[in-house]
Amino acid sequence: MTTATATADTAAIEALAERYGEAWNTQDLDGILMANSLHYIKDKAALLQKLRTYMRPEAPMIIVEYDTDQPVSTWVPYPTSFTSLTRLFANLGYSHIQKLGERPSAYGRSQLYAAIALPAGRGE
């Protein structure tokens, strides 16, 4: 990833947070659900770190994504397999990452999975 891309991703996150953050009192979120959205983010670690600042310390993240690391045209430019997601969250300090379920994609190229990531000290 280029520095320009990382900066653009971070700037977009900051703009959304500035515009909506105070109105939603986001420091108290009980969790975040990201369904079919993480595959549009190139710098996933930066986004997840930023989102973490808006959540209670024990709050989980639930992710629904395609179980592949192979991009698919413009629709899934930065996919994250469950294996990659597990590494990503472990590197961010999450202690428990669990696949909740999976099903075939309607597009037939891979499975969709749902996973939960719990911060360190929770779910151990």
What domains are there in the chain, each with its CATH number? 3-119 (3.40.50.150)
Which DSSP symbol is given to 26? G
Q: What is the pLDDT of residues 28-73, one digit of tens each?
A: 889 999 999 999 999 999 999 989 988 899 999 999 999 999 998 7
Could you tell me which residue, 3 or 12, shows the higher pLDDT? 12
* Rounded-to-integer distance, Cα 18 and Cα 65, Å: 27
Residue 116 predicted with pLDDT over 60: yes
pLDDT score for 1? 45
The model's pTM is 0.78
Average pLDDT of the residues in 70-88: 92
31 three-class SS: coil
